[in-house]
Chains A and B, each alone.
Chain A
Amino acid sequence: MDRRKFLKFSVGGAAGAAIGASLAYVKPFGHAPEKEGQRVEIPTTCEMCVNKCSLIAVVENGVIHKLNPNPENPKSRGMLCARGNAGLQQVYDSARLKRPLIRAGNRGEGNWRPASWDEAFDFTAKKLSETKDKYGPQGTLWSSTESFQEVFFRNLGAAFGSPNQVRHPSLCLASVNLAYSLTFGTVPSFDLLNSKYIIMSGANRLESFITPDTMDLIESAEYRKAKLIYLDPRFTVTASKADEWYPIRPGTDLAFILAMLNVIVDENRYDKEFVANYTVGFDKLVEHVKPFTPDWAEKETEIPAKDITRIAREFSDAAPRAVYYAGRRSSWYREDFHMRRAQAILNAIVGSWDREGGMVPNGKIALGEYLFLPWDDPVAPRVDEMDKNFPLAAKGDGAYLKLRENVIAGTPYPVKAWMVHKQDPMNALPNQARTLEMLQQMDFVGVIDIQMSDTAWYADVVFPESTYLERTDPVEVLSGITPVVVYRQQVVKPVHDTKTTLEIAQGLAKRLGLSQYFDYTLDQWIAAQVKELPLEAPLEYLKKHGVYVPRDFPKYGSTLNAEHRFVTKSGKIELFSERLQEANYDALPVYQAPAQPPPGKFRIITGRRAYFTHANSTNNAWLNQFAPANSLWLNQSAADNLGIADGDRVEVASTVGAVRLQAKVTQAIRPDCVFMLHGYGKKSKWQRLVAGTGGCDTELLETAWDKVSGNASLHETFVSVRKV
Chain B
Amino acid sequence: MKTMEWGFLIVNYLFLGGLSAGLFFVSALATFLYKIDEPSPYTRIARLGALLAPWPVMIGCVLLIFDLGRWYRFYKLFLHLRLVSPMSIGSWLLILFTLVSLVNCYAWLTENQRSTLFAKLPRGLAFFSKFNYDIDHWRRRLALAGLPTSVGVGIYTGVLLGAVQSRPFWNTNLVAQLFLFSAFSTGCAALILGLSGRETSAQELRLLYGLDICFMVLEFFIVLPYLIHGELSVQAVQDSLKLVLGGPFTILFWVFFLGLGLLTPLVIELRELVPVIVSNREFHYNRLLAASTALLILGGGFLLRYIFVFAGQMSAMQ
Residues 50-68 (chain B) with a chain A CB within 8 angstroms: 56, 59, 62-63, 66-68
The number of chain B residues with a CB under 8 A from chain A is 20
B7 & A25 in contact (Cβ 8 Å cutoff)? yes
Contact A27-B59, Cβ < 8 Å, known A4-B198, A7-B197, A22-B66: no
Q: Give chain A residues whose Cβ lies under 8 Å from the Cβ of B259.
A: none
* B72 interface contact, C-beta 8 A: yes
Per-residue B-contact encoding for A396-433, CB less than 8 Å = 1, 0 else: 00000000000000000000000000000000000000
A4 to B66, CA, bound (A): 31
Per-residue A-contact encoding for B1-22, CB less than 8 Å = 1, 0 else: 0000001110010000000000
A21 & B198 in contact (Cβ 8 Å cutoff)? no
* A371 interface contact, C-beta 8 A: no
A24 → B minimal CB distance (Å)? 9
Q: Give chain B residues whose Cβ lies under 8 Å from the Cβ of A19.
A: 12, 59, 62-63
Q: Give chain B residues whose Cβ lies under 8 Å from the Cβ of A4.
A: 197-198
In the complex, which of the residues B12, B56, B197 contacts A22, with contact meaning CB atoms closer than 8 Å?
A: B12
A18 & B12 in contact (Cβ 8 Å cutoff)? yes
Q: Give chain B residues whose Cβ lies under 8 Å from the Cβ of A22.
A: 8-9, 12, 63, 66
Closest to B193 in A: A7
A30 & B70 in contact (Cβ 8 Å cutoff)? yes
A69 to B167, CA, bound (A): 40
Closest to A30 in B: B70
* B69 interface contact, C-beta 8 A: yes
Question: Tally of A-B residue pairs with Cβ under 8 A?
Answer: 40
Contact A26-B71, Cβ < 8 Å, known A15-B59, A19-B59, A21-B8: yes
A25 & B197 in contact (Cβ 8 Å cutoff)? no
A19 → B minimal CB distance (Å)? 6
A224 to B198, CA, bound (A): 87
* B210 interface contact, C-beta 8 A: no
A25 & B8 in contact (Cβ 8 Å cutoff)? yes
* A626 interface contact, C-beta 8 A: no
Q: Give chain A residues whose Cβ lies under 8 Å from the Cβ of B66.
A: 22-23, 25-27
* A3 interface contact, C-beta 8 A: yes
A7 to B12, CA, bound (A): 20
A446 → B minimal CB distance (Å)? 48
Per-residue A-contact encoding for B155-190, CB less than 8 Å = 1, 0 else: 000000000000000000000000000000000000
Per-residue B-contact encoding for A1-34, CB less than 8 Å = 1, 0 else: 0011001000000010011011101110110000
Closest to B13 in A: A22
* B194 interface contact, C-beta 8 A: yes
Q: Give chain B residues whose Cβ lies under 8 Å from the Cβ of A30.
A: 69-70, 72-73
Q: Give chain B residues whose Cβ lies under 8 Å from the Cβ of A15.
A: 56, 59
* Interface set of B (CB-CB < 8 Å, partner A): 7-9, 12, 56, 59, 62-63, 66-73, 193-194, 197-198
- The contact sample of 30 A-B pairs, CB cut-off 8 A, is A3-B198, A4-B197, A4-B198, A7-B197, A15-B56, A15-B59, A18-B12, A19-B12, A21-B8, A22-B8, A22-B9, A22-B12, A22-B63, A23-B63, A23-B66, A25-B7, A25-B8, A25-B9, A25-B67, A26-B66, A26-B71, A27-B66, A27-B68, A27-B69, A29-B70, A29-B72, A30-B69, A30-B70, A30-B72, A30-B73
Apart from A25-B66, A25-B67, A29-B72, what are 13 other A-B pairs with CB-CB below 8 Å?
A: A3-B197, A7-B194, A7-B197, A15-B59, A19-B59, A19-B63, A22-B8, A22-B9, A23-B63, A26-B66, A27-B68, A27-B70, A30-B69
